Chains A and B, each alone.
Chain A
Amino acid sequence: MPWIEANANVAVTLTVNGVSHRLELDARVTLLDALREHLRLTGTKKGCDHGQCGACTVLVNGRRINSCLSLAAMHGADNITTIEGLGTTDALHPLQAAFVAADGLQCGYCTAGQICSAMGMLEEWRAGWPSHVGEHAPAEAITAAEIRERMSGNLCRCAAYPRIVEAIQRYAGDEGAST
């Protein structure tokens, strides 16, 4: 049967890193493709396009999600934060700096996802959300075992894993010390 696209476009305003963008999009455009292809915010990566690698992780209203498994049209009311919204090469966010210092990256392709995921993950930790590892008091310092479990939705084929854990722990420790 012939496919008719007449009604298959949507208008949506995406608010990304505090900036609103009015877009006319094919309804099929995912949040990930809207960011990368339409807004040219290519810091967010496409690794699998099926929620199986975490490279596309962004924060939506502070919560981490896989942007590949969401339609852009579903996010008109949301505040989206991508890696470009954290720091710049001249003024790194402390978590970004911790990744560089600990060498929590190699090829760099999963890195933005790891960092955004870690931001969201630490917020979940502070909210007292439990994990498969167990329960905790919100004020507790996060352990390596907890970080590993909670970050398992972010694959790294270069396997910077131990150093990503180190970076997150270092950052979380500094945060804890400063608050």
Chain B
Amino acid sequence: MMPFEYLRAGNEADALQAAADRPDARFIAGGTNLLDLMKLGIERPPQLIDIGGLDLRTMAETPDGGLRIGALVTNAELAAHPLVRARYPLLSQAILAGASGQLRNKATTGGNLLQRTRCYYFYDPASPCNKREPGTGCAAIGGFNRIMAILGTSAHCIASHPSDMAVAMRALDARVETRQRDGQMEVRALDALYRLPGETPHIDHTLAPGELITAVVLPAPLNGRQRYRKVRDRASYAFALVSVAATLAVEDGMIVQAAMAFGGVAPMPWRDRTAEALLIGQTPSQALFERCADAVTAEAQGQGGNDFKITLLRRTLAACLTDLTGNVP
């Protein structure tokens, strides 16, 4: 860890002001990813603004039947919250499929959204990495790439996003509330928080310097059933090779609503609305689900070591949809 100045913000205004004064400062809440990266010299912020004391720990229903989650609500509290378990079981399942009890007690909602890739080469300053050091190249391409992404990659970066929680939130159409440096509130769809690597893989997200995530807002849940299915190398405590977050509503034997997001396969929680549209108005069937899985993976590209993710994603998705609709012919 390089030296940094540590400030503890007493309130949101202080935090924003401090960030405005030092554009290269970083907010710290749980710290479970930031400190991890700082110890390795991958992150070197000259100033940390501790936002742990901010009043961002509440969860409340919104007037339209949704849920507003303070950015500092821990992953553990979120997963255990009765409203989440009742209305967004998908989200609870996703969080509980990730990390460990200890990490979930520390990690926060806002921080989880912003965690950085677990790409092995990103994690070693001795390796070329365009995400860590723009212009140095991508060691994962041509290297050991079993855990890398198959969708949304570029010639400059094939890293995948590690979050489970964010995958569920993307399927649930979450919105992110932020405060700009000037105190202005902004709301954006979760989709719009993330960036694909393109030629600038070092920029993970669209937050401006000093912009603070204050809450995540879930709209009222879709009808129907929800499921988060994660496939990993250990039975617990491992990042996803592939994960599927899906909600599906069937009425009179016909699919009326569908939302799906995928983890472990792309630089951001991945969603494919074309594939979702394929399902709407159709009768659930194995053939339909396989067509849907084909659509999701149509553009997928492996790098050799991660080719299996294409097959695995297809199979996991189709099986997950089958699960959500009960036995299908």
Q: Is the CB of A69 within 8 A of B235?
A: no
Residues of A within 8 A of B236 (CB): 132, 148-149, 152
Say if the beta carbon of A111 comes within 8 Å of chain B.
no
* B165-223 interface (Cβ within 8 A of A): none
* A63-121 interface (Cβ within 8 A of B): 63-66, 69-71, 73-74, 117, 120-121
Say if the beta carbon of A177 comes within 8 Å of chain B.
no
Residues of B within 8 A of A71 (CB): 6, 28, 31, 35, 48, 50
| Interface mask (B43-79 → A, CB under 8 Å = 1, otherwise 0) | 0000010101000000000000000000000001001
In the complex, given contacts A63-B105, A64-B101, A121-B101, what are 20 additional A-B residue pairs having Cβ atoms less than 8 angstroms apart? A7-B5, A8-B6, A27-B4, A27-B6, A27-B48, A28-B4, A51-B103, A65-B102, A65-B105, A69-B30, A69-B31, A71-B35, A73-B6, A73-B8, A74-B8, A120-B101, A127-B80, A131-B96, A149-B236, A151-B101
Residues of B within 8 A of A128 (CB): 80
Say if the beta carbon of A45 comes within 8 Å of chain B.
no
Smallest CB separation, A125 vs chain B (Å): 10
| Interface mask (B4-40 → A, CB under 8 Å = 1, otherwise 0) | 1110100000000000000000001011100110010
- The one of A57, A69, A73, A132 that contacts B32, using a Cβ cutoff of 8 Å: A69
In the complex, what residue of chain A is closest to B36 when comparing beta carbons?
A50
Smallest CB separation, A104 vs chain B (Å): 18
Say if the beta carbon of A5 comes within 8 Å of chain B.
yes
Residues of A within 8 A of B36 (CB): 50-51, 69
Most chain A C-beta atoms within 10 Å of own C-beta, residue among B2, B39, B106, B235 = B106
Smallest CB separation, A60 vs chain B (Å): 8
- The one of B48, B93, B103 that contacts A153, using a Cβ cutoff of 8 Å: B103
| Interface mask (B94-129 → A, CB under 8 Å = 1, otherwise 0) | 001101111101100000000000000000000000
Residues of B within 8 A of A131 (CB): 96
Residues of A within 8 A of B277 (CB): none
Q: Please report the C-alpha to C-alpha distance between residue A63 and residue B231 in the assembled complex, in whole angstroms.
A: 28
Q: Please report the C-alpha to C-alpha distance between residue A138 and residue B314 in the assembled complex, in whole angstroms.
A: 38
Q: Is the CB of A129 within 8 A of B79?
A: yes
* A117-160 interface (Cβ within 8 A of B): 117, 120-121, 124, 127-132, 135, 148-154
Q: Please report the C-alpha to C-alpha distance between residue A135 and residue B92 in the assembled complex, in whole angstroms.
A: 11
Say if the beta carbon of B308 comes within 8 Å of chain A.
no
CB-CB under 8 A for A74 and B102, given A30-B35, A132-B236, A135-B85: no
Residues of B within 8 A of A65 (CB): 102-103, 105-106
Binding site for B on A (CB under 8 A): 3-5, 7-8, 10, 26-28, 30, 49-51, 54, 57, 63-66, 69-71, 73-74, 117, 120-121, 124, 127-132, 135, 148-154
In the complex, what residue of chain B is closest to A57 when comparing beta carbons?
B102
19 contacts between A and B (CB under 8 A): A8-B4, A28-B1, A50-B39, A51-B32, A51-B103, A54-B102, A57-B102, A66-B102, A69-B103, A117-B102, A129-B76, A129-B79, A130-B96, A132-B96, A132-B97, A135-B85, A152-B236, A152-B237, A154-B100
In the complex, what residue of chain A is closest to B92 when comparing beta carbons?
A130
In the complex, what residue of chain A is closest to B47 when comparing beta carbons?
A7
Chain B interface helix/strand/loop/mixed: mixed
In the complex, what residue of chain A is closest to B238 when comparing beta carbons?
A152
Smallest CB separation, B169 vs chain A (Å): 18
Say if the beta carbon of B329 comes within 8 Å of chain A.
no
Residues of B within 8 A of A10 (CB): 6
Smallest CB separation, B241 vs chain A (Å): 16
Q: Is the CB of B6 within 8 A of A124?
A: no
Q: Please report the C-alpha to C-alpha distance between residue A8 and residue B47 in the assembled complex, in whole angstroms.
A: 9
Q: Please report the C-alpha to C-alpha distance between residue A30 and residue B6 in the assembled complex, in whole angstroms.
A: 13
Q: Please report the C-alpha to C-alpha distance between residue A10 and residue B47 in the assembled complex, in whole angstroms.
A: 13
Q: Please report the C-alpha to C-alpha distance between residue A30 and residue B38 in the assembled complex, in whole angstroms.
A: 12
Q: Please report the C-alpha to C-alpha distance between residue A45 and residue B233 in the assembled complex, in whole angstroms.
A: 26
A-B pairs, 5 with minimum CB distance: A153-B100, A152-B236, A27-B6, A129-B80, A152-B237
Residues of A within 8 A of B35 (CB): 30, 69-71
CB-CB under 8 A for A153 and B237, given A66-B32, A69-B36, A130-B96: yes
Q: Is the CB of A49 within 8 A of B39?
A: yes
Residues of A within 8 A of B106 (CB): 65-66, 69-70
